Amino acid sequence: MPVIKLNISGQVQGVGYRYWFAEQAQALGLKGRVQNLSTGEVEAVIVGTDSQLSEMIARSWQGPARATVQAIIQEYLKSDLDVQDFSILR
């Protein structure tokens, strides 16, 4: 399955973005992880079908009510990532 890394910037830390992202990803059946970066961005690595990934990227622009997403950088990764669930990292 395809694996994509998203670097999400804007007002995305301290607003519940990681928890919101994890909830959305799990609802779509995605696997992977999401974490805050020291740069103020949120990084997510997600595994799923092309349609699941496209839908998650579209949802990522919305975020929770207090978030403001300014940019999302996408990078496709090797598809041999072995993840069993979705986790929130610090």
**Residue in the structure block whose two tokens are 């696997």:** 31
Domain range spanning residue 16? 3-77
Average pLDDT over residues 13-42: 97
Share of the chain above pLDDT 90, in %: 89
The mean of the pLDDT values for the chain is 95
Tell me if 7 sits within 8 A of 67, measured CB to CB. Answer: no
CA dihedral of residues 16, 21, 26, 27 (deg, nearest 10): 90
Q: Is residue 82 part of a domain?
A: no
Give the catalytic positions in this structure.
Answer: 18, 36
Task: Write the CATH number for 36.
Answer: 3.30.70.100
Domain count, the chain: 1
Q: Is residue 90 part of a domain?
A: no
Q: Is residue 46 part of a domain?
A: yes
pLDDT digits (tens, 9 = 90+) for 61-83: 999 999 999 999 999 998 766 77
Q: Is residue 88 part of a domain?
A: no
Share of the chain above pLDDT 70, in %: 98
Average pLDDT over residues 47-52: 96
Task: Give the residue from 63, 48, 51 showing the smallest Cα distance to 8.
Answer: 63
